[in-house]
Amino acid sequence: MNLFHLLLLVFLVVCAAAAGRTRDLISAAIIFAAYSLTMALLWQQLNAPDVAITEAAMGAGVTTLLLFAAISRTGRME
């Protein structure tokens, strides 16, 4: 395992912890998108381009848009 793979794995753990601990929903959705893009990079590095494309399209693309649509329809109290 080279250094780049290790950095990606550490970033994945940090993103997962940050998404779980943040109180702002929009921030959590953005962190989730970063997590999905990092997973797509990791799948590409592991020579699975079909899984990487699917992860980038569904995880970072469609799911993030659906999360933003759901957040925009909810009330926000401060």
Provide the 10 A C-beta neighbour count for residue 60. 19
Query: Would you say how long the chain is, in residues?
Result: 78
Tokens 């992860």 sit at which residue? 55
Interval 23-38: pLDDT, tens: 888 999 999 999 999 9
pLDDT at 60 over 60: yes
How is the chain split into domains, by residue range? 12-72
Give the pLDDT confidence score for residue 74 in this predicted structure: 86
Task: Kindly report the pTM of this predicted structure.
Answer: 0.86
DSSP annotation of 48: -
